[in-house]
């Protein structure tokens, strides 16, 4: 049983062509093989696809932080209830300001945390950009009222906060576009590399050298039996 397992292990370690020849001939006692020629050089390994390079993008919170901080300070100073506007306009303005505060305190922070975890991921950063877009639109409606009826100090502060948010919004949009262009180029490069690998000719199959001819050990001739000594003739009785 031990010899059989050893033979199986030996066959598994041989190259395929030698293993088949060994399996056909079988282990024969008294048969020896000369040293096998060196194996053919291995075929060149198939080149791997190029790894996509990481696209570095700034954290959205870092881009928006100065503008958002200035906006929070501006909202504290606004007093729409004292503006010289109709009650309906004042009520709508107050509702818009309350919506902006809820967005800054509740909706936007988790979106920024998700985007900051992977600023190069478009699906994670795009919700922040859409939120800033909506926030900017609401601010413009409040600013239209402030220009007409708010005190100059409050109107100017609000205009400055809007300008700052506009700059940050544009910077975030530019970052998104840069990331999208870089990732699109990476996909194009990967597809080109994959197409090159698919159309490249296959590497040559290594040819196994035939096994050397078996040499049978010569058997020693059997020793001839020694001739029996002749029996002496018995003299006839007289």
Does residue 83 lie in a domain region?
yes
* Tens-place pLDDT, residues 115-165: 999 999 999 999 999 999 999 999 999 999 999 999 999 999 999 999 999
DSSP string, 69-118: HHHHHHHHH--GGGSSS-HHHHHHHHHHHHHHHHIIIIIHHHHHHHHHH-
Q: Is it the case that residue 44 has pLDDT exceeding 70?
A: no
**Whole-number average pLDDT of the chain:** 78
Determine the structural domain holding residue 102 and report its residue range: 60-199
pLDDT band at 167 (very low <50, low <70, confident <90, very high): very high
CA distance 155 to 173: 27
β partners of residue 70: none
Looking at residue 86, which CATH number applies to its domain? Answer: 1.20.120.230
Segment 2-15 mean pLDDT: 49
- pLDDT of 27 > 50? The answer is no
- Give the total number of structural domains in the chain: 1
**Would you say residue 133 lies in a domain?**
yes
pLDDT at 231: 61
Assigned domain for 42 exists: no
- pTM (2 d.p.): 0.60
| Beta-carbon contacts of residue 114 (< 8 Å; ≥ 6 apart) | 124, 127
pLDDT for position 48: 54
Output the pLDDT for position 227: 66
Tokens of 5: 């397992």
Positive or negative: CA dihedral 190, 191, 194, 195: negative
Per-residue model confidence as pLDDT tens digits over 211-226: 777 666 666 666 666 6
């Amino acid at each position: 049983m031990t010899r059989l397992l050893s033979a199986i292990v030996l066959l598994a370690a041989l190259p395929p062509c030698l293993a088949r020849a060994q399996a056909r001939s079988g282990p024969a006692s008294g048969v020896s093989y000369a040293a096998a020629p060196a194996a053919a050089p291995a075929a060149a390994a198939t080149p791997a696809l190029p790894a996509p390079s990481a696209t570095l993008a700034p954290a959205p919170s870092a881009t928006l932080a100065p503008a958002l901080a200035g906006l929070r300070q501006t909202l504290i100073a606004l007093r729409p209830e004292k503006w010289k506007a109709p009650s309906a306009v004042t009520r709508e303005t107050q509702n818009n300001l309350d919506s902006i505060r809820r967005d800054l305190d509740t909706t936007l922070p988790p979106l920024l945390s998700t985007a900051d975890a992977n600023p190069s991921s478009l699906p994670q950063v795009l919700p922040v950009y859409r939120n800033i877009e909506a926030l900017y639109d609401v601010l413009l409606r409040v600013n239209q009222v402030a220009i007409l009826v708010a005190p100059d100090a409050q109107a100017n502060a609000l205009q400055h906060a809007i300008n700052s948010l506009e700059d940050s919004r544009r910077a975030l949009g530019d970052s998104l576009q840069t990331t999208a262009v870089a990732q699109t180029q990476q996909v194009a490069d990967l597809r080109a590399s994959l197409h090159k690998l698919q159309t490249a000719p296959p590497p040559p199959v290594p040819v196994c050298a035939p096994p050397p001819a078996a040499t049978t050990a010569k058997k020693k001739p059997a020793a001839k039996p020694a001739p029996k000594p002749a029996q002496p003739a018995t003299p006839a009785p007289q």
